[in-house]
């Protein structure tokens, strides 16, 4: 009977430790203000514009903004070019053309992850404030081109998700 009690105690302790580990991992992301994704089934089409409406935020707090890209081994390029626009409530739009490194020179993908799918948290803007009342919108579009092809890649393989993240600076 004592052996069964010891085994049950060990199992209960293991389950409690696992539960505490999971809870601590979930609660570690205290900087997150907004984090949303758009998934693609067969790559990212050049005409597909990913849009996010941002939540209301303190007009005096500073935030860091990130574009999140999830890619896999079907992504064939070293860099990723994006056109990101920020629309303010007064309809003023700021458009940025951005370039991010996505792979090492040997072709191995950068980013976090243990499988062939990698998560990339790419800095978009630092110290951003949202002083105007109303809705802010983010639009993200891929702008990959091959040499000599102005029209661009119609269907960009290997990009499985595009996200946008806002973090508090505290």
Cα 25 to Cα 23: distance, rounded to the nearest angstrom: 5
Contacts 24+ apart (CB under 8 A), 46-50: 46/141, 46/142, 46/143, 46/144, 46/152, 46/153, 46/154, 46/155, 46/156, 48/141, 48/142, 49/139, 49/140, 49/141, 50/139, 50/140, 50/141, 50/162, 50/164
Higher pLDDT, 116 or 23: 116
Q: Please compute the mean of the pLDDT values over residues 6-27 and round it to a whole number.
A: 55
pLDDT of residue 94: 97
> Which neighbouring-strand residues pair with 137?
53, 87
pLDDT in tens, 112-163: 998 999 999 999 999 999 999 999 999 999 999 877 776 778 899 999 999 9
For the cut 60, the answer to whether the pLDDT of residue 26 exceeds it is no
Average pLDDT score, the chain: 87
Q: Please compute the mean of the pLDDT values over residues 37-47 and round it to a whole number.
A: 93
pLDDT in tens, 78-105: 999 999 999 999 999 999 999 999 999 9
pLDDT in tens, 104-124: 999 999 999 989 999 999 999
Q: How many CA atoms lie within 13 A of 72 on its CB side?
A: 14
What global pTM score does this model have? 0.80
Does the domain made of 32-168 have the CATH classification 2.40.50?
A: no
Instruction: Indicate the domain borders of the chain.
Output: 1-30, 32-168
pLDDT of residue 64: 96
Higher pLDDT, 16 or 77: 77
pLDDT of residue 1: 54
Q: Which of 92, 95, 93, 88 is nearest to 135 (CA)?
A: 88
pLDDT of residue 33: 86
């Amino acid at each position: 009977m004592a052996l069964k009690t010891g085994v049950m105690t060990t199992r209960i302790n293991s389950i409690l430790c696992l539960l505490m580990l999971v809870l601590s991992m979930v609660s570690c992301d205290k900087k997150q203000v907004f984090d949303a994704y758009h998934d693609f089934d067969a790559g990212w089409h050049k005409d597909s514009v990913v849009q996010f409406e941002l939540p209301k935020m303190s007009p005096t707090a500073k935030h860091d903004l990130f574009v999140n890209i999830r890619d896999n081994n079907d992504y064939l390029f070293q860099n990723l070019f994006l056109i990101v626009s920020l629309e303010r409530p007064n309809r003023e739009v700021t458009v940025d053309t951005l370039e991010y490194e996505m792979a090492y020179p040997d072709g191995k993908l950068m980013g976090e992850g243990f499988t062939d799918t990698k998560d990339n948290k790419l800095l978009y803007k630092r110290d951003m404030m949202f002083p105007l009342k109303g809705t802010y919108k983010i639009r993200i579009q891929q702008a990959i081109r091959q040499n000599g092809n102005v029209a661009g890649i119609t269907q960009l393989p290997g990009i499985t998700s595009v996200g946008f993240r806002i973090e508090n600076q505290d």
